[in-house]
Structure 1
Amino acid sequence: MKPFNHDIGGYAFLGLLVATVWAIPLAAFLHRDAHGNAMELPRCDEARSLDQVREALDAQSGQTVLGLYDATELRRGAIGDYRRCIATVVTTAGEAQIGFAIGWHDRRNAIPFWTGDGLPPSLPDRANH
């Protein structure tokens, strides 16, 4: 029978070192979408972003949104956790600039959220421009 080895600390350190070396690439691999690309928030001008914003404006304002265009990113979070955007909205009452943001609801499962400032209380009349 072999004697018990008292160098458990050395083996524990080696085990943690190996686990760490394997965990970093594994974490990077798991933080990717189904196509192997790093997960990224939808862009401000993507169709699904504009659809989400348009649906929210229709629901909250009671006005019909005729168009939403010229979406531009103003700011992005340092680690890609949000985008701040502006766009031009055209409704039956007129045209205005609106702001909205895109962020992660569940980053691990690639589920974003959209939130916005809403329509201004009174849109300028297009006939006066």
Structure 2
Amino acid sequence: MKIEGEVTSGMGKGSFFLSQESYTKEFEKNLGFIPFPGTLNVMVSDEHLDEINEIKDNCENLIKPDDGFGAVKYIEAKLNEKVDGAIVFPAKTTHEDCHLEFISENKLRDELNLSDGDIVSLEF
């Protein structure tokens, strides 16, 4: 599936969770990289929500830390056809379903010179 979405600011909570060893160790083991401590937040059109929710519901990639933090599902993805990473679906979130969080090993706003309102593509 390939979709486009708009870069938006998040709440800043991703940096805290992606700094926790229980998550970083599992992402490194399963994805081959330690994620930058933060997510790239992308708003996608409502027209894709049924497909996205089906993928999320059927996703078996799960990190379930022992330290009281919430579980996170993830699927490997590619941003703008060149940046490998993953879309994460935290069990505990305040984001709407159309708000996707992409992780990679680099700070993507700097690496790709992204700002709120920029359009990006996600393939997963």
TM over 0.5: no
Higher RCO by CA contacts (8 Å cutoff, separation 6 or greater): 2
How does the TM-score come out when normalised to structure 2? 0.25
More helix by share: 1
